[in-house]
Amino acid sequence: MAQAWRCSGLRWSADGPVLAWEGGRSSALTWGKRVAFGVAEGGVRTCVGARGHACPLGAAVPGRSTGARCEECARLDRAHSVAADTLADDPRPYRVYLAWFGPGAAKVGITAARRGPARLLEQGAVCFSWLGTGPLMAARRTEELLRAALRVPDRIPYADKRAVRAVLPAGEGDRAAEIAGLHARAVALAGWPESLVREPFRPVDHVGVFGLSGVPAAAGEVRELVAGGTVSGELVAAAGPDLHLATGTGRGVVVLDTRLLTGWGLLPAADGEFSVPVRAVRDRAAAAQDGLF
């Protein structure tokens, strides 16, 4: 039997997306690369553990889970995280940003300054601009201020990101227009923490990095991997954790969220085979931010 590979996630390097594997190996993903793998008959998806430690129970996890962790490991992984507000004494600087994923889909967020734009690539931000830099709690307070004042969220579901990704404006200026307006409104607000240094509007566009220019709209997205199932296609674009695969099976372009790979033992598969559940990409009209209610 062929060796099973276990994916530890998609990473973004200076040269583009890279699939990382347990054991330290990695696979660079370039446009046109054939991606083909399968799950053995009888295979089971198991918890990936937390914070570098294996799951003590070796618990099975659902195929549709994007975290691939059991309840206890998910709790441990979230502990002492910025997202959970448990690192209030972190002395390192943080940056506040505005990110845009497509028409009507903008958000505010924070990331450690040392990470540069990595967080924005990991989220699949089509365009972004920094807003300010300062201590963690000042950045967090600014994020909350802007979320309330600008009425933009701090999270956007990936289903919504995929929906609006299909209707991106052709020009960089058009793609930056929405966050340009939000940035102008943000810097005019009173109440910013004094320790947060505001930054000018300098949009960074990722359409070229993601390979999204001229790519056909995705017709479907992989719902989950299953035992005995296979995935095969030509990589035409990638954004955040998503791979856009031209399947050549009458399905058109299918999006594979690489977070669905973790926890499975993956095997080589014949090119052209595709036998995992696929659902339609969410309609973009349903994904637009029309307000809270």
- In contact, 256 and 33? CB cutoff 8 Å: no
Query: Mean of the pLDDT values across residues 79-88?
Result: 59
Place of tokens 């099973």: 4
Tens digit of each residue's pLDDT (9 = 90 or more) over 148-194: 999 999 999 999 999 999 899 999 999 999 999 999 999 999 989 99
- In contact, 255 and 242? CB cutoff 8 Å: yes
Tokens encoding 160: 């919504």
SS3 call for 231: strand
Percentage of the chain lying above the pLDDT 70 cut = 92
Determine the pLDDT at residue 51. Answer: 87
Determine the pLDDT at residue 246. Answer: 95
Query: Mean of the pLDDT values across residues 135-146?
Result: 95
82 band by pLDDT with thresholds 50, 70 and 90 = low
Residue 277 has pLDDT above 60, yes or no: yes
Residue 286 has pLDDT above 90, yes or no: no
Please give the Cα distance from 278 to 281 (Å, whole number): 9
* Helix residue ranges, H only, the chain: 71-78, 118-123, 136-150, 158-165, 172-187, 207-210, 284-287
Sign of the C-alpha dihedral computed for residues 35, 41, 47 and 49 taken in this order: negative
Mean pLDDT, the chain, whole residue set: 90
Residue 137 has pLDDT above 60, yes or no: yes
Determine the pLDDT at residue 78. Answer: 83
Q: How many CB atoms lie within 10 A of CB 141?
A: 18
Residue 108 has pLDDT above 60, yes or no: yes
248 band by pLDDT with thresholds 50, 70 and 90 = confident
First to last CA, the chain: 54
290 or 127: which carries more pLDDT confidence?
127
89 band by pLDDT with thresholds 50, 70 and 90 = low
Determine the pLDDT at residue 60. Answer: 96
